Every structure is written in C-alpha cells, then in structure tokens.
A = this chain, B = another copy of it.
Amino acid sequence: MPKLSSNKSEQLTKMLVAVDLVILTVRNARLCALLIQRGISPFKGQWALPGGFVLPSENLEQAALRELSEETGTSAGSIGHLEQLATFGDVKRDPRERVISVAYLALVPNLPVPKAGSDAINASLIAVADIQTENLTLAFDHRSILLSGVERAKAKLEYTPLATRFCSKYFAINELRQTYETVWQTKLDPANFHRKVTKADGFLQASEDAVQGSSGRPAQLFSQGPAAHLHPPILRPSGS
C-alpha cells in the first residue's frame, strides 16, 4: 500500500466497482442461472449476469445482497447461500471505461419467475448446460464469470452441505441425490449415496415424517443438519 496523501489522491486513477452475481438454482432437474437480457448498449439484447455498482456507503457483500434481493425478490433471510467468487478487472472488459467487477456466487432454492429490472428487457432462468453446448454468447466477460461460479458450486458440494440450499426445507434423500446429479451432471448409485449422506456427521437432520412418491416405499424426510463441512466428504466420481 503506497502513499496516498490527501492532496495527491486526486491524481490516482479511480475506477468503477461493480458486483456481478452468479445466481444458481435447480429447476426441472437442470442447473440454471438467473440471467438478464440487456436493454441498453453495449451488448444490447445479449444475456448478462445481474449486477450493479457498489455504493459509497455499502460493503461489497452488502452490495451483493442488495442486488440479489432486487433481482430475486427474496428477503435476506431466505437466501440460500452467498459467497465471494473472484474479481475480474481486465482493462478492456467493459468497452466504455474501466470497471472492476467483484463476482459473487448465490445458491438459491427454486425461484419464482424473475422480473425484468429497469435496465433489462427480460430476465430468465437459463440452463447452464444450454449455455455451454449452444455456445450462447454472454455480455462482457460474463461467460467466464458464470463458468467460474458453476465450477465453484460443483466443488463446494463435495465438502459442504450446500446442496441442501437447492432443496426444499424438508426433503427426501431422493431430492438431494437428484440435486447432486444435476449439478455434477452424472449419475450416482442410490444405495451408496443414501449411506454416505446419512453417515456424514451432522449433514442431515432426520424428521419424523415421510413422503410418498408416485410409487414405491415412502421416503423419510430430512432437513439440513448443523455441520458446516462434510466428514467424510461426498466426492464426485473421478470422471466428472
């Protein structure tokens, strides 16, 4: 941290600082990201991550929370999970002027239909797989930000109980397993998965209730347990 005397600070280059959000949810057994379609130039009409500039009075995480509740309509309490992802600051990432973007990753349960904001003509949940396979272009460097977020989410499912953030408050092991399968894009053995998650210390809290699916034996319902990390972890199959 070099010198910054009050009379010299005006000479130093200041930059716009934004937060951009990778908001992930599981919808119809697909991992989806909340994207907005830009209503203004540049990249008008293209899909982009929701985000906004950091206000002088707020910390970075507060800015991310504010944007998140603006975009999803969720109150602060109902947000599943929010964490800082990384910061993107390449010189030309915004064609207008220098903008530093601090990206945050949010994991939320199944969202209500998103609403368009003032600067967006549309907002929608887009399947991550479609973005990857159809080579959908995103505005700015938002494609790499989004992929960073997806990769982070995949990794976090191994060592933390965050998969429950995609599930209902009370869920069957079945729902939890489908969440893992959706995010990891792989199939998991139901029997082994059942044993692993029920044995992981503090991952799941058993409830008294059970739920009946379309057929078969009713499944016990669980809620998230107290653990912040999984011991032992639920590891991805090596090919994922």
Contact = CB atoms under 8 A, between A and B. Distances in A.
Contacts of A13: 53-56
A240 interface: no
Candidate in A40, A100, A101 with the most chain B CB atoms within 10 angstroms: A100
Nearest to A100: B17
B89 A59 contact: yes
A215 interface: no
Copies in the complex: 2
Contacts of A12: 16, 53
A87 B90 contact: no
A219 B137 CA distance: 54
A45 interface: no
A2 to B, nearest CB: 5
A58 interface: yes
Given A9-B16, A12-B53, A98-B56, A3 B87 contact: no
A102 interface: yes
Contacts of A139: 1
A86 interface: yes
Contact of A4 (B4, B60, B96): B96
Contacts of A18: 1
6 nearest A-B residue pairs (beta carbon): A14-B14, A60-B89, A87-B87, A3-B119, A2-B119, A13-B56
12 contacts: A2-B51, A2-B52, A2-B119, A4-B16, A4-B97, A13-B55, A14-B17, A17-B100, A54-B100, A58-B91, A60-B89, A87-B87
Given A1-B38, A3-B118, 4 more contacts: A54-B89, A54-B100, A56-B98, A100-B100
